[in-house]
A and B are shown apart, each in its own frame.
Chain A
Amino acid sequence: MKALSQRRRHPLAAIALLLMGLLLTGGIYAVASNANEAKAQTTFSASDIEEGEKLFVANCATCHGMGAAGTEDGPSLVGVGAAAVDFQVGTGRMPLQMQGPQALQKPVQFTDEQIRQMSAYVASLGAGPAIPGEEELDLEGADPAAGGELFRVNCAMCHNAAAAGGALTRGKFAPALEGVTDKHIYEAMITGPQNMPVFSDANITPEGKQDIIAFLNIIEEQGSPGGADLGSLGPVSEGLFIWVAGLGVIIAFTVWLTSRSS
């Protein structure tokens, strides 16, 4: 104790104390919380992994490298999990058509079986988010109103409050969410594709994710209660509409009304 009290005014004492505090809280949190624990409980067979590797070598390794270790053209896929592969390939974003600010959606290039095999292979390389199963995607009892609130706080700044999409910097963008399957929305939230941040289960609970999906489904199903929505793009499209269509029709009438005089 004497040694400790002698050194308590040492210049590095504050830093040492801070380090100890950080280590302690971080360690306790890591032990107590399993929210960020990588999940790889999905069971893939050995043959899935084997077939998946063949597909990977033929279609993905050019950019992602042998063993998915990554190259200059593509990131390493070790630890991204099956969900990332299922999302990227399942929505047609991968294989990449060309390098650019962001991978664009295009027709899906592989069968569901092949996507499963590639997912299996990538999942075998390191633990990562698994493809959400029926339990995660069960929307029974989900609260769309709560989902709407979560969506506005976490998603609307990029995807637009009506999920119509929006621009990001330098050619990147957040896509519109109409027509995206429940599974892909869930996967996007847990893997953070392209420029999207990861919304881990600590950030938005699985129930919250289900609420968000329920909200997106309900606004997609209900359509637009007030008539044609002009793209849900906000006041700019409304302004353009009144100038072009509204005033256009009115000018046609003014010309008609004054045409008989001269």
Chain B
Amino acid sequence: MSSSAAGHQYQPKTNVGKIANFVDTRVGGSAIVKEFGRKIFPDHWTFMFGEVALYSFVILLLSGTFLTFFFDPSMAETHYEGSYVPLRGIEMSVAYASSLDISFDIRGGLFMRQVHHWSALLFVAAVSVHMLRVFFTGAFRRPRELNWVIGGVLLILAMAAGFTGYSLPDDLLSGNGLRIIDGVIKSIPVVGTYISFFLFGGEFPGTVIIPRLYVLHILLIPALILLLIAMHLFLVVVHKHTQFPGPGRTNDNVVGYPVGPVYAAKAGGFFFIVFGIIAAISAAFTINPIWNYGPYDPSPVSAGTQPDWYIGWVDGALRLMPGILAGFPFEWEIPFPWGTNTLSLNVLFPALVPAGIVFTLLFAWPWIEAWVTKDRREKHLLDRPRNAPTRTGIGVAGVVFYCVMWAAASSDLIATHFMVSLNDVTYWLRVLVIIGPVIGFIVARRIALALQRKDREIVLHGRETGRIVRLPHGEFIEVHEPVDEYKRYKLVSFDSPVTLSAEADVNGHVSKGEKGRAWASKFFFEDRVAPVTPAELEEAHSHGHHGEVASEHDKAAISNK
């Protein structure tokens, strides 16, 4: 770093060396490479979904830039004169006409549109899977709570980016989507109508919504996403990456490959793999065929109208919500001195409550868990999902909750494709959306506990080899093969928090909050399966167990088969 100081001056001999030295002495590149290139990242396939999300976002920026060259977000009326015959001469907005031009009259336009849309779906899917991985392995715990929150905000921004983009072509499908948003906004008591008029610049649909969404879609939301991605990655570097437990892996180290050269090459190559997969999909499979839907017109609504998958759950909740339940109407008309106001709980509830539950739990989860366990130490070693059964159960409950609502968004397709009644599909899904998560929780938690018991069994008694041996005295036994030390390390070294009963504070008083925490702690950990202790292992090996081979003679018989 002192190359510019007086005294010994490094003199490069080659041209490349001169350029490199020029750059290095001005921006200090070698220090960055030295520092960052030696950064260690652990290798596991589940650690790559964040990368997939990042690469999808880069592809979105590239393809989106191409689309902005040709897209015109104007809602002025025009008559389509492009090359798609079934729409020629039809009155439509300039936005829709330019989307059709991108699809049919601009070289490579349809491909780029499909790349943009497919990578948008993949972006949100990769973000979701990445968050599920972080959740199920406990990577959100201290010191990464804030990064988890940033990730949650990124998920919301990704959904917002997707929805604003979905609305831009101004075809029938996107217009129907906006109409639902308009309805949801208007269902907000008192201020709803005002917000709707403010957003749409008057009565729906107006002539300003597409340009406004366009500004959000290409300027504000991507800028926020970029900013948060930068913060997200910065915090990853600060915290270092988490790793799964294993021999030599502790809370104080990171075992893996350095960024340069292996990891950088792998990650760079992976970008092109993701790009290649999206390009192949875009070339072979159509997405959002806007020419099918026709221009937006507030009167028609096509069958099979649904939002993209990440908004689908809200649409599903709207479809599931009953208007009247056991004689109780969800739509009230409340007389006020100035007139009658309508309170449409049948729209307000499904639009806000499920999303509210999911995102509140999501953002609060790191603190909920720290509160229950009273464990506020730094955690750099991950949990295998089975080793945190209650957390895994709650995560699965969330996934089931989401999936049932997404299924509800396709209730009409379920009805036609499985030849069942649409009404019955709705009734069943209404039940499932309540009890499905409960069943999912119980089943996932039980499976996790069972897997933990199996792990214990393997550590104590070894792996069942399936070899049945008959001993000289006639007894049949199955040979168990002890696991090696590396494998055993994985199976025994995990955090296993215990139930903490309520503790009194300095005044000897047990507060209500503490009692609640004790109840939660019991709920979380009372069924826990403790990891095998060295003493247990010692005992299992010295005292023998079922099928233990008695004599040297028998041992010889087994090894000879």
Report which A residues bind B (CB closer than 8 A): 101, 143-149, 152-153, 156-162, 164-171, 173-174, 215, 218-219, 222, 224-230, 232-243, 245-247, 249-251, 253-255, 257-259, 261-262
Q: Is the Cβ of B289 less than 8 Å from the Cβ of A224?
A: yes
The distance from the CB of A238 to the nearest CB of chain B, in whole angstroms, is 5
The one of B85, B294, B420 in contact with A171, judged by C-beta atoms closer than 8 angstroms, is B420
Of all A-B residue pairs in the complex, the 7 with the closest CB atoms, nearest first, are A166-B303, A239-B309, A226-B286, A167-B412, A161-B302, A171-B421, A167-B415
A145 and B86 in contact, given A225-B104, A233-B304, A262-B43 (Cβ under 8 angstroms): yes
B285–A230 CB distance below 8 A = yes
Is B342 interfacial (CB 8 A cutoff)? no
B422 to chain A, nearest CB (A): 5
Determine the chain A residues whose CB is within 8 A of the CB of B409 once the complex forms. Answer: 236
User: Which residue in chain B gives the minimum CB-CB distance to A234?
Assistant: B304
B291: contacting residue among A225, A233, A259, CB under 8 A = A225
Q: Are B312 and A232 in contact (CB under 8 A)?
A: no
Known: A160-B304, A166-B412, A230-B286; 16 extra A-B contacts, CB below 8 A, are A145-B88, A149-B294, A152-B294, A153-B300, A156-B172, A159-B303, A161-B292, A171-B420, A222-B86, A234-B173, A238-B309, A241-B285, A242-B125, A253-B273, A257-B45, A262-B43
- Cα separation A100 to B14 with both chains bound (whole Å): 86
Contacts of A245 in B (CB 8 A): 281
B51-70: contact bitstring with A at CB < 8 Å (1 yes, 0 no)?
Answer: 01000000000000000000
Instruction: Tell me if A225 and B422 are in contact (CB < 8 A).
Output: no
Q: Which residue of the partner chain, among B85, B122, B288, contacts A242 with CB atoms under 8 Å?
A: B122
Q: Least Cβ distance of B18 to chain A in Å?
A: 36
The interface residues of chain A, by DSSP majority, are classed as helix
Most buried by B among A145, A162, A226: A226
User: What are the residues of chain B within 8 A of A173 when measuring CB–CB?
Assistant: 415-416
Are A234 and B306 in touch, CB under 8 angstroms?
Answer: yes
Question: In the complex the two chains form, is A224's CB within 8 Å of B118's CB?
Answer: no
10 contacts between A and B (CB under 8 A): A145-B88, A153-B300, A156-B172, A157-B302, A162-B289, A162-B293, A166-B412, A246-B121, A253-B277, A255-B45
Closest residue of chain A to B407, judged by CB?
A236
A160 near B303: Cβ-Cβ < 8 Å:
yes
Q: Are A235 and B308 also in contact (CB < 8 A) when A171-B421, A218-B85 are?
A: yes
- In the complex, which residues of chain A have a beta carbon less than 8 angstroms from the beta carbon of B297? 152-153
Give residues in B with beta carbon < 8 Å to A.
43-49, 52, 85-90, 103-104, 110, 114, 118, 121-122, 125-126, 129, 172-173, 256-257, 266, 269-270, 273-274, 277-278, 281-289, 291-294, 297, 299-310, 312, 406, 409-413, 415-416, 419-423
Q: How far is the CA of A254 from the CA of B48 in the complex (A)?
A: 7
Instruction: Find A167's partner among B269, B291, B312, B422 (CB 8 Å cutoff).
Output: B422
When chains A and B are docked, how far (Å) is the Cα of A149 from the Cα of B104?
20
**Which residue among A168, A250, A259 has the maximum number of chain B CB atoms within 10 Å of its CB?**
A250
A225 to chain B, nearest CB (A): 7
Q: How far is the CA of A136 from the CA of B114 in the complex (A)?
A: 40
CA separation between A152 and B92, bound complex, in Å?
14
What residues of chain A lie closer than 8 Å to B285, measured between beta carbons?
226-228, 230, 241
A226 and B110 contacting across the interface, CB-CB below 8 Å: yes
Bound-state CA distance A153–B118 (Å) is 29
A162 in contact with B292 (CB, 8 Å): yes
A156 and B308 form a contact (CB under 8 A) = no
The smallest C-beta distance from A34 to any residue of chain B, in angstroms, reads 28
Q: A148 with B303: in contact, given A236-B312, A236-B410, A261-B257 (CB under 8 Å)?
A: no
| A224-B45 in contact (CB<8A) | no
Residues of A contacting B266 with CB < 8 Å?
A: 257
> CA–CA, A229 to B304, complex, Å?
14
Contacts of A236 in B (CB 8 A): 306, 309, 312, 406, 409-410, 413
Say yes or no: A227 contacts B284, CB within 8 Å. yes
Set of chain A residues within 8 Å of B274, measured between Cβ atoms: 250
Q: Which residue of B lies closest to A219 (CB)?
A: B86
A235 and B171 CA atoms in complex are apart in Å by: 14
The distance in angstroms between the C-alpha atoms of A146 and B80, with both chains bound, is 12
Asked if B45 and A156 make an inter-chain contact with CB atoms under 8 angstroms apart, the answer reads: no
Find out whether the CB atom of A167 lies under 8 angstroms from the CB atom of B416.
yes
Bound-state CA distance A249–B273 (Å) is: 10
CB-based contact A170/B422 at 8 Å? yes
Asked if B86 and A226 sit within 8 Å, CB to CB, the answer is no
Task: Report whether B90 and A145 are in contact in the complex, using a CB–CB cutoff of 8 Å.
Answer: yes
- What distance in Å separates the Cβ of A219 from its nearest Cβ neighbour in chain B? 6
Q: Which of B44, B300, B306 contacts A152 (CB 8 A)?
A: B300
Instruction: Give A171 to B412 CA distance when docked, in angstroms.
Output: 10
In the complex, what's the smallest C-beta–C-beta distance from B326 to chain A, in angstroms? 21
How far is it, in angstroms, between the C-alpha of A203 and the C-alpha of B24 when the chains are bound? 78
Neighbour of B129 across the interface among A153, A164, A247, CB < 8 A = A247
Query: Bound state CA distance, A145 and B81, in angstroms?
Result: 11
Given contacts A171-B421, A236-B312, A258-B48, contact A247 B413 (CB under 8 A): no
Complex interface: chain B residues within 8 A of A164 (CB):
304
Which residues of chain A come closer than 8 Å to B90, judged between CB atoms? 145, 148-149
Question: Contacts of A148 on B, CB cut-off 8 Å?
Answer: 86-87, 90, 294
Please tell me if the beta carbons of B286 and A156 are within 8 angstroms of each other in the complex: no
